[in-house]
Homo-oligomer: A and B are copies of this chain.
Amino acid sequence: MKPDLKQIQAPIATEMDDFEKKFRTFMKSKVKLLDHITGYIVKRKGKQMRPMFVFLTAGVSGGITESSYRGAALIELLHTATLVHDDVVDDANYRRGFFSVNALWKNKIAVLVGDYLLSRGLLLSVDNGDFGLLQIVSRAVREMSEGELLQIAKARKLDITEDVYYTIIKQKTASLIAACCAVGASTAGVGADQVEQMRLFGEKIGMAFQIKDDLFDYGKDEVGKPVGIDIKEKKMTLPLIFALEKASWMEKKKIIYLIRNKNEDKKSVNKVIDFVKASGGLEYAESVMNRYYEEALEILAAFPPSEYKVSLEALVEYTIQRKK
């Protein structure tokens, strides 16, 4: 079966609807301008992958509870705060085809709205005594910011090894999905061991997800041209890292030169892409992605059968098969 997000969501359709309503009330404020902006944020919501992970892992761990909603909301509020800050960070004027909050209301407001959303998430947890959730999520926030900073530091020197790459994507991407799954298990009321198993499951999916994402940079864009954005931004990802490790000293020097100095030139970017493809970098990255995929399924196999489990298996499948 080709995995499809609507089908995957079927066992938690009611919960997802309820969640959306609750989430709106969690964001309410006394300041009009703020409600105006958060209303705008709610409207342009994405695939809702994070709440989906929370509810499905709660289901597979024994059952969705009231605290699963608060856990999903905590993550979503923190994640939204991060997105709003990211818009400032990237000087992004668009997100998901809409104007970013940043473009519309300027940096100042974007930073403050981010801080506000964050404080709402904290209060939601603190006021309800969800301290286990808070711990899981705070760790994820720390790892995410450390991971992004590590990537920036390394990108300057273009000296990323495979190990550093795995550290970066584990912190930057996998830690949030891991947190979603740990929160799901924790709100189902299982013990620390099972929470840790679910956290690991999420981490594996997260790793596979990011490698897939990095592979897209070598795919074709909407008009059929290779993308190459990561190369332009001097972001070293697995296909390139593998190709450089295999390359001769001379070849490596040439490619690094192109990335460092000619990264704005379309022809040079294409040369780097061709070099990666010829070195088997794409196949290697795919094999690593598949290993994480297998490991995620292995962890999941230990859980009792249920409709949630079927959906989680499909979600793992979706992660590595998605087209964008």
Contact = CB atoms under 8 A, between A and B. Distances in A.
Contacts of A141: 115, 118-119, 122
A320 to B, nearest CB: 28
Contacts of A120: 142
Interface string A98-122: 0000000001110111111011101
Interface stretch (A3-11, A127-135, A246-254, A279-287): A127-135
A162 B127 CA distance: 32
A229 interface: no
A138 B112 contact: no
A82 interface: yes
Given A116-B149, A149-B33, A153-B31, A111 B88 contact: yes
A262 B219 CA distance: 54
A49 interface: no
Q: How many chain copies does the complex carry?
A: 2
Contacts of A13: none
Nearest to A154: B33
A82 B30 CA distance: 21
A115 B145 contact: yes
Contact of A111 (B30, B85, B113): B85
A122 B134 contact: yes
Nearest to A153: B33
Most B CB within 10 A of own CB, among A34, A90, A122: A122
Contacts of A291: none
Nearest to A130: B131
A46 to B, nearest CB: 20
A138 B139 CA distance: 17
Q: Which of A112, A115, A116, A148 has most B Cβ within 10 Å?
A: A115
A138 B81 CA distance: 15
Contact of A149 (B34, B90, B145): B34
A89 interface: yes
A305 to B, nearest CB: 35
Interface in A181-235: none
A115 B89 CA distance: 12
A131 B122 contact: no
A126 B139 CA distance: 10
A150 B30 CA distance: 9
A129 B134 CA distance: 11
A152 interface: yes
Contact of A89 (B29, B32, B108): B108
10 contacts: A31-B146, A91-B107, A112-B149, A116-B142, A119-B138, A126-B131, A126-B134, A126-B135, A127-B135, A129-B131
Interface of A: 29-34, 82, 85-86, 88-91, 107-109, 111-116, 118-120, 122-123, 126-127, 129, 131, 134-135, 138-139, 141-142, 144-146, 148-150, 152-153
